[in-house]
Chain A
């Protein structure tokens, strides 16, 4: 195990250190570490298979910070779990391919490697921090034991070294290392536990970490501390990050690239400034228009997206967003628009993306189209 401070770069296949990020984000020549192709994930329900992730394509480069945004039920967590092969037993990957590139340049077909091989990848190559509300730390197992166990299960047996690394990481996430290392999770506040989980996820120097709602349900000042911690970690260490959040401001803070999901599909994917300042999918626009700003001397009226997210057992025909969309025309209910590149690295799935602007007026008087109940 190397000390975290000695690892500001990722070695390439030849073992030479190659920085994957510069000041503004991932380098354009950084390799793709994760490629998701046409991924479909379903849950078994009383009414049949429910599609929670529907044909997702995604590409993530080394050093990149990717935000998955979208409302509750859009499939963000399901996608995250699928990438980590941590889906519940009632779920299945119906189709698709996930290719992962290890630190030393090997390509792995993530969904098809055997369990033994997969276990060797978890924690060392990638790790996950779960939704803050449902913390993954066992409340009756000491923090120190969790760190020691995790490292031992992955072939690291030098207790002293593990402890040293753990304390260093705990300090990096702004915790009183000695105190927290010897505490039980139930003795810590929610924000402290969340920071312990982040430190733990970095214990074995993974290349990729997935954070599911890292700040949800935490107080604002604690959220700020976590944002700052993540940002500092990314300046000091070199890892790729996917974070899932329904909070757009978190994406604005931390992401290089933003991916909007709706009803299990990726509807927009682009560089953070493009997605926030020139969003081209009506759903992304709707989300952005609904966030109350805090800065500014004036009152900003906000418009909501009418209607509600669809029932995944009864997804609208054509574009899944069409019943709520102010730009819809006939074609929208007939054909699901493909994700196309409309500007460099900016992808949108909308028939009328060229008409879409951030102007709120068009949202004010839309009739939500009724979705017919599917025959069961």
Chain B
């Protein structure tokens, strides 16, 4: 396959907190190819935003690297880094917090154009702002240019955030829960708008959400990575991971989701977890991090070592001893040897 646009390699990030050191992201490796959609899904605190911030160059990894077009971010010159920050744009969750309330839409969108000299003068900036608004389906553009954030609905504000990200012709958009705070119908139209950016303009997406149904819709043609307490525990093509999740946590997640269909949702087969408690990052269980909750737990195997992410079927990567044994007929390294290797 062609060279990835971005490669996250063994990304790890620790934080010192009042309760001790935590590893918010632990050895995550992922690749994004041009015009690909990579979704990252996981519960609150699983490390998604921390991955996003490292990928965007806003946070230094404790270990591992972020490579963009084959170059290590840490080794970029100042100018190269500036270019990088143009090529990779973030859209955040909260459209209130991310737009300046005293700037009109026109001002918000023309500022980056003028600052980065992507428009020569006001007139060209205004024309370009009009194009950007059309691009994110805010039509007619004139109606929006003079508006302030408080005069817009939540969905419209989020469109402005997307338009602002698009102002610099980015290669990659990192959308961190970009549709989590808007209503169902607005969510779909935002997703459709972003899909259009990807389909028509070839924008690559790192799309972060806690909602597997949104992943299915937005990331259907791409890959999805599932995170749990800082670790990547499953990765594969979206239709496959959602149609037939393998890692027990992913299975539990898919089974837990209610559907907007009374007969279907009430008869859906549930997967009973052994415990509802999400472990604390300051006190992670030994062995597989999911074992205290896992319905497939096997003593003497799951509580001994953390299973690594392995390819258990073509392009299907799973971190689970049981799945690994079922699908590959073997456990790549016996628990005892692995223990020794870890020591």
For window 153-188 of A, CB contacts with B under 8 Å fall at: 174
Bound together, the chains give a CA A249 to CA B210 distance in angstroms of 16
Cross-chain contact B183 with A72 (CB below 8 angstroms): yes
A248: CB under 8 A from chain B?
yes
Binding site secondary structure of chain B:
helix
B268 within 8 A of A: yes
Q: Are B257 and A291 in contact (CB under 8 A)?
A: no
Q: B183 near A295 (CB under 8 angstroms)?
A: no
B189 touches A304 (CB 8 A): yes
Interface range for B: 35 or more
Find out whether the CB atom of B257 lies under 8 angstroms from the CB atom of A248. Answer: no
Partner-contacting stretch, out of B100-108, B150-158, B325-333 = B150-158
The answer to whether A252 and B185 touch across the interface, beta carbons within 8 angstroms, is no
Q: Does B260 contact A (CB under 8 A)?
A: yes
Contact B185 A286 (CB under 8 A): yes
CB contacts (< 8 Å) of A288 on chain B: these are 260
Is B214 an interface residue when CB atoms closer than 8 A count as contact? Answer: yes
Contact between chains at A252 and B43 (CB < 8 Å): no
Answer yes or no: A23 CB below 8 A from chain B CBs.
no
Chain A 284-302: CB-based contact to B (< 8 A → 1; otherwise 0): 0011101111110101101
Partner of A221, one of B183, B189, B252: B252
- Residue on A with the closest CB to B278? A189
Structural contact, A219 and B212, CB atoms closer than 8 A: no
Do B192 and A304 touch across chains, with their CB atoms under 8 A apart? yes
Indicate with 1 or 0, residue by residue over A70-104, a CB within 8 angstroms of chain B CB atoms.
01100000000000000000000000000000000
Task: Check if A292 sits within 8 Å of B213, measured CB to CB.
Answer: yes
Residue in B184, B276, B277 whose beta carbon sits within 8 Å of that of A290 in the complex: B184
* A253/B258 contact (C-beta < 8 A), A293-B213, A294-B212 known: yes
At the interface, yes or no: A4 with Cβ under 8 Å from chain B? no
Number of residues from A at the complex interface, CB < 8 A: 46
Residues A293 and B259 in contact, CB atoms below 8 Å apart: yes
> Is A223 an interface position by the 8 A CB rule?
yes
Task: Note all chain B residues with C-beta closer than 8 A to A225.
Answer: 276
B216 x A221 contact (CB < 8 A): no
Q: Is B239 an interface residue (CB 8 A)?
A: yes
Complex: how many Å from CA A174 to CA B239?
34
Residue ranges of A at the interface with B (Cβ–Cβ < 8 Å): 71-72, 174, 189, 191, 219-225, 227-228, 246-253, 255, 272-273, 276-277, 286-288, 290-295, 297, 299-300, 302-306, 308-309
- Not counting A297-B239, A304-B185, a sample of 10 additional A-B residue pairs whose C-beta atoms are within 8 angstroms of each other reads A189-B277, A220-B253, A224-B270, A247-B258, A272-B262, A276-B262, A291-B260, A293-B216, A294-B254, A305-B185
Q: List 11 A-B contacts (CB under 8 A).
A: A220-B212, A221-B253, A247-B258, A249-B260, A252-B258, A252-B261, A273-B263, A287-B185, A292-B216, A297-B239, A304-B192
| B residues whose Cβ falls under 8 Å from a Cβ of A | 43-44, 153-156, 183-189, 191-192, 210-214, 216-217, 220, 239, 242-243, 252-254, 256-266, 268, 270, 273, 276-278
